[in-house]
Amino acid sequence: MANGESRHDGSRANCLGGRREFFRQMGAGTLAAACFGGFLSNSGQAAESIPSDKTAPLPTISLVGKTITRLLVGSNPIQGASQPTLHVQRHMNEYYTVEHIADLFIHCEKVGINTFQGSYSDKVRDGLRLARERGSKIQWLCLAADTGDDAALENILALKPFAVVHHGGVTDRLFREGKPDKVHDFIKKIHDKGLAAGVSSHVPNNVRAVEEKDWGNDFFMTCFYNVVRTKEEMKRDFGGVAVDSLSYWAGDPDAMTAIIRQSRKPCLAFKILAAGRLCWSPDSVEQTFQYAFRNIKPTDAVIVGMYPRFEDEPQANAALTRKYGRTA
């Protein structure tokens, strides 16, 4: 998708009852009201005027010279990229105004999350600018592909990301078309701009190939689920074809995490919650975070999209990262 990694963030719009119980168990505070404003009752306040939660710092890793928390907030809910239904996409787009995007970034910092991963869009641009005007220091990791439009890249650079990652859906399409060198060209272009460059993929073999080619990318973004299989590949591997191309198969996380552990480079794992499919109970959410951190390297992190319209997902996700993401 042009506006972001293909629906990768694991939004949890469909698991409200379980999440309420989860908040009670985690002691994360009063649940946000189920209204348009959600937890964002501090809308418009400067970051420094919002008191910080009295919680331990999140575990961190070093990525291209930056200290980033092992939990990054993703962008698919912000972009309205929800997989369950078109109606959920519309709700997300309605909710994530520029004001609410800025509020999200400030709140993520308040609960300890210091990095945002997402594609450029007018809405993201304006939300980042507004958050920064209010004092936010959240770091931005941009996902993009080479469209041949130099102005688009300049728009990204103007927002000062600390790194740019080649879009995973495009990576996998180029590999399928026999044009992987275009990914290498993108890495070189980003390095020429003085920024760190990453490569994203949903396919373990593509991650392995980039590593073996030693193209100089600084890190990877690695999807827990191979959601780019063709119908032919699904029929070959599973004996049938899923209703849609965005299929989630139980063995995929094991395949990708094996590659992650073998990689010499830091990896940022995404779609760990199968785009919300593993969010129907507090236990499944907790087990998924536990699995993720146990099966990636101590130098890796996870990216999770958040939709706090009803509940304080940033706080709950931060609590699970503190519980399972410690490296010492």
pLDDT for 184-219, tens place per residue? 999 999 999 999 999 999 999 999 999 999 999 999
| Residue 92 reports pLDDT greater than 60 | yes
Helices (H) and strands (E) in the chain, counts: 12, 10
Range from 106-120, 174-188, 245-259 carrying the lowest mean pLDDT? 245-259
249 vs 38: which has the higher pLDDT: 249
Residue type, 69: T
pLDDT at 247: 80
Query: For the chain, what is the radius of gyration of the CA atoms?
Result: 19
pLDDT for 244-279, tens place per residue? 767 888 999 999 999 999 999 999 999 999 988 888
Neighbours of 202 (CB within 10 A): 26
| Residue 243 reports pLDDT greater than 90 | no
Q: Give the whole-number percent of the chain exceeding pLDDT 70.
A: 82
- Decide: 47 and 134 in contact? Cβ < 8 Å: yes
Tokens linked to 321: 């990262």
What's the rounded mean pLDDT across residues 268-292? 93
pLDDT at 279: 85
| Residue 108 reports pLDDT greater than 80 | yes
- Decide: 3 and 79 in contact? Cβ < 8 Å: yes
What string of DSSP letters covers 58-118?
PPEEEETTEEEESEEE-STTTTT--SS-HHHHHHHHHH--HHHHHHHHHHHHHTT--EEEE
| Residue 6 reports pLDDT greater than 80 | no
Residue with tokens 């060209």: 185
As a whole number, the mean pLDDT across the chain is 85
Q: What is the value of pTM for the model shown?
A: 0.85
pLDDT at 12: 44
The pLDDT confidence band at residue 40, using thresholds 50, 70 and 90, is low
What's the rounded mean pLDDT across residues 283-303? 97
Tokens linked to 171: 């990576």
Range from 49-58, 73-82, 245-254 carrying the lowest mean pLDDT? 49-58
| Residue 293 reports pLDDT greater than 90 | yes
Q: Which fold has domain 16-30+63-324?
A: TIM Barrel (3.20.20)
| Ramachandran class of 212: left when φ > 0, alpha when ψ lies in -120 to 50, beta otherwise | alpha
| Residue 19 reports pLDDT greater than 60 | no
